[in-house]
Amino acid sequence: MPDYLDDLRLAHVLADAADAATMGRFKALDLKVETKPDMTPVSEADKAAEELIRGQLQRARPRDAILGEEYGIEGTGPRRWVIDPIDGTKNYVRGVPVWATLISLMEAAEGGYQPVVGVVSAPALGRRWWAAKGHGAFTGRSLSSATRLHVSRVAKLSDASFAYSSLSGWEERGRLSGFLDLTRDVWRTRAYGDFWPYMMVAEGSVDICAEPELSLWDMAANAIVVTEAGGTFTGLDGRPGPHSGNAAASNGLLHDELLSYLTRRY
């Protein structure tokens, strides 16, 4: 099995470059922000970071395909880099420090492309998380200064901490009742949002999290970090990996119960 460590090192180099670009424009008074056709914001920093990452990948991995939120798919083949230059753009443009660059390498496999490398870099929080298939998940300042991640061992829903992004998405999809039932039955709920709940599941400070609508670039890096930390990452339909257009992540022990709540429609 490939060890993917060279790809992981490259992903860190890409994240370093993106961090410098995004932090350079964070809280800039003249930051340019546009509205995309789906009515979500995109800043000049989103575009610049993705362009930077794409340029470095084209030089370092010219045979690999690239899929990014802002510029779509380029190239073909069994290896595909998936990029979200700023996950949490709404936070970014308002000066909230909870945002990150998500970089993942996916490889063709049975059932579709699967993430084999992931880096989640949140420079405004001073945090970074990463994983490579078969090598575990870590957090720290660098590859040489890192702590291994492990999900929690909480086995009762009544003892669990549940993280989410917002209520509106669940309501729009007719799943709000089950979602609210879950919030009543767990120990604690917090709406941290975006990439952060998945990283907290991976490091064991949160036990379960879910979102009702996502794109592949929102999930690929998070999925490999959670699973390499010993957790479970699926769609709400239970399909493993980041392919269902939504996500549920857990320490594994609570996953079936999590899905049973979030798939209720009444």
Residue 68 DSSP class = E
Which tokens belong to 176?
Answer: 């709000």
Q: Give tens-digit pLDDT for 172-184.
A: 888 999 999 999 9
For 108-206, where are the alpha helices, taking DSSP H only? 168-172, 176-185, 196-203
Which pLDDT score, from 0 to 100, does residue 183 have?
96
Which pLDDT score, from 0 to 100, does residue 3 have?
83
Q: Give tens-digit pLDDT for 207-243.
A: 999 999 999 999 999 999 999 999 999 999 999 999 9
Q: Can you tell me the distance from the alpha carbon of 121 to that of 47, in angstroms, rounded to the nearest whole number?
A: 17
For the chain, where are the alpha helices, taking DSSP H only? 5-25, 44-60, 89-94, 168-172, 176-185, 196-203, 216-228, 255-262
Helix (H, G, I), strand (E, B) or coil at 84: strand
CA atoms within 13 A on the CB side of 108: 6
